[in-house]
Amino acid sequence: MSEEKTLTGTEADEMLPEYDFSKGVRGKYAQRYAEGTNVVVLSPDLARIFPDSESVNRALRVLVEVAQQSVKGSKQ
């Protein structure tokens, strides 16, 4: 049987030797993170039709425009 080691205290806080951050850049994505982002997961059938964020955004803008025209038309 293998023994399981439970890490406690400072042992749990230490980095493992295989983690190498020597070439890391502090704050590389900080500005992008601060600006915020919305991640939306598309169903596979829609992902085939809308392969990138640009196509999704274009379709949603058209939909919003059509909906706004529809609301304006119903008020007349």
62-71 per-position pLDDT tens digit: 999 999 999 8
Q: What is the pLDDT of residue 73?
A: 79
Distance between CA atoms of residues 14 and 8, nearest Å:
10
4-61 per-position pLDDT tens digit: 566 665 666 788 889 888 999 999 988 888 888 788 899 999 999 999 999 999 999 9
Q: How far, CA to CA in Å, does 25 sit from each of 13, 29, 30, 44, 64?
A: 21, 9, 11, 35, 40
pTM for the predicted model, two decimal places: 0.50
